[in-house]
A = this chain, B = another copy of it.
């Protein structure tokens, strides 16, 4: 499968980030057509102790075409706009393809 990966740095205000993320952003994002699965991982640290990252979200699509179509849809644009409004300075986006390790 193919996935869109969003990696967030730790926000200054975790409470307001969490409120918007779980209360609004994931709800808007789940509506994107073609989205097969969303996996959210809370970063708890690193082998060295702390981590500058806070959250990792992986959004799975069947293939690159479905992912591109999802992002271009009205729902995809709404999710992107919402993302930029609360985490534009925190997020790194990547697109990837699963391979056999």
Binding site for B on A (CB under 8 A): 3-5, 7, 22, 26, 30, 38-48, 51, 53, 56-57, 64, 71, 80, 92-101
| Stoichiometry, copies per complex | 2
B94 touches A51 (CB 8 A): yes
Among A4, A30, A40, A95, max chain B CB count under 10 A is at A95
Identify whether the interface residues of A are mostly helix, strand, loop, or mixed: strand
Among A56, A96, A101, max chain B CB count under 10 A is at A101
* Contact among B40, B44, B51, B93 with A100 in the assembled complex (CB-CB below 8 Å): B40
Measured CA separation A95–B30 after assembly (Å): 25
Subset of 10 A-B contacts with CB under 8 Å? A41-B98, A41-B99, A42-B96, A43-B96, A45-B94, A46-B93, A47-B71, A47-B95, A51-B94, A56-B96
